[in-house]
Amino acid sequence: MGAILTLAHSTPSPSIRRAATASVLCYVFMLRADSCVRLKHRHVSFTAQGLALQLHVKTRGRYIFTTVHRPGHDEVYQLLRDWVRMCRAPGQASLWALPDRQYDTFTSPCINRWFQASCDILSLRPPPGEKWVGHSHRSGGATAALSVDASLPAIARFGVWDHMGSLQAYLDASVGPSADALLFFEHLLKPSLTAVSYQLSAHHAQAQGLPRTYHSVLLCDA
């Protein structure tokens, strides 16, 4: 998916950029194809904290919005911001309509076609015996998050799974970590306990007017 992200940033073709951008967005938000194609311009928000999507998801009901936040202003944030700027349109217009075709509508199979088109351009192929489809984004994103040690509750919350048992079917625990997985899903990781311990020490020191303590030392009788 890192290669598709690079393609989305670099291609001069609006249609290829759409294909790559939709693929990246599905992956990093672990979206079902139908949730992605239903996005409109009014469902996307750019804030000081990062990117937010208002989604229709099957687990919450087709007509109930669920807002999902992805913190940070990294390459994914920049990609979607650039796409929205290029395809400026009324709030009710589809997020995926090209500038000269603002009234186009889309169905779920578009996600699979766009993903396959992106993979074909980059000569990407699935492992022998496997097949990539539009729903692979949801499974691939969850698996990548697991590979960098995101917790199951964090993955379930971000990907809007209501039941942990449902999430298990999307995970492949044999997949190891990668730099791309960390780029896309570092925001799901807990902060380091060492860093938090230092923050607590600094807070206590400030409250008591003492010098900051960098380490806690436990003294035991020899």
Residue 177 burial (CB count, 10 A): 13
Residue 98 burial (CB count, 10 A): 15
Cβ(38)–Cβ(53) below 8 Å: no
Domain ranges of the chain: 2-188, 192-222
Q: Looking up tokens 């194609």, which residue turns up?
A: 37
50-71 pLDDT per residue, tens? 999 999 776 655 567 789 999 9
Superfamily of domain 2-188 in the CATH hierarchy: Intergrase catalytic core (1.10.443.10)
124-177 pLDDT per residue, tens? 998 888 888 767 899 999 999 999 999 999 999 999 998 888 899 999 999 999
pTM for the structure as a whole? 0.85
Task: Name the burial class of residue 75, with classes exposed (0-12), middle (13-18) and buried (19+) by CB atoms within 10 angstroms of its CB.
Answer: middle
- Mean pLDDT for all residues in the chain: 88
In a 3-state reduction of DSSP, which class is residue 45? Answer: strand
Residue 31 burial (CB count, 10 A): 27
